[in-house]
């Protein structure tokens, strides 16, 4: 259970990184010269509390999300380092998207899940060839389900 909670804490810490960023981002030169950060066991109780507080608050204020939070932490624990890096990259891409791009991504993802491999390839090629206006029309004709979570669509496992 401790590993699950540690994984949950880490996964949520990544998701709420902007909340934890009190200082401006370090430059690459400053990062290279900086001393490596300590292991969890070497953090002070105050440092641990600072890292855990956003997760505890989210856990307590969003009881409907607890099962999903726990499932994501367990999945994160099972990922390889490469899979974790891809997940971080995907989250960064999602955060940089406009609301319209997110809507298109949700709709496209929902549609792709209903298709076989050949149909997916065809839709990807068609999507890439569409103009922005054609994409808007396609999304209106093929909206994402209303019950689809607001975050990024989950990646299909390899």
**Chain centroid to CA 108: how far?**
17
pTM value is 0.56
CB 106 within 8 A of CB 114: no
CB 69 within 8 A of CB 116: no
Per residue in 84-142, pLDDT (tens digit) is: 999 999 999 999 999 999 999 999 999 999 999 999 999 999 999 999 999 999 999 99
Angstrom CA distances, 78 to 4, 74, 82, 84, 155, stand at 10, 7, 12, 9, 14
Q: Is the pLDDT of residue 58 over 90?
A: yes
Q: Is the pLDDT of residue 65 over 60?
A: yes
Residue 34's pLDDT band, with cuts at 50, 70 and 90, is confident
Q: What is the mean pLDDT of the chain?
A: 81
């Amino acid at each position: 259970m401790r590993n699950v909670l540690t994984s949950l804490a880490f996964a949520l810490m990544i998701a709420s990184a902007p909340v934890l960023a009190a200082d401006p981002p370090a430059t690459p030169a400053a990062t290279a010269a900086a001393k490596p950060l300590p292991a969890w066991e070497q953090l002070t109780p105050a440092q641990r509390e600072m890292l855990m507080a956003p997760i505890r608050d989210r856990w307590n204020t969003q009881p409907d999300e607890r099962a999903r939070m726990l499932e994501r932490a367990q999945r994160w624990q099972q990922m390889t380092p490469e899979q974790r890096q891809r997940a971080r990259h995907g989250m960064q891409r999602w955060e940089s998207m406009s609301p319209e791009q997110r809507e298109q991504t949700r709709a496209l993802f929902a549609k792709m899940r209903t298709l076989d491999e050949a149909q997916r390839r065809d839709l990807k090629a068609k999507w890439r060839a569409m103009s922005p206006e054609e994409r808007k029309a396609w999304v209106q004709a093929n909206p994402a389900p209303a019950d689809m979570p607001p975050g990024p669509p989950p990646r299909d496992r390899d």
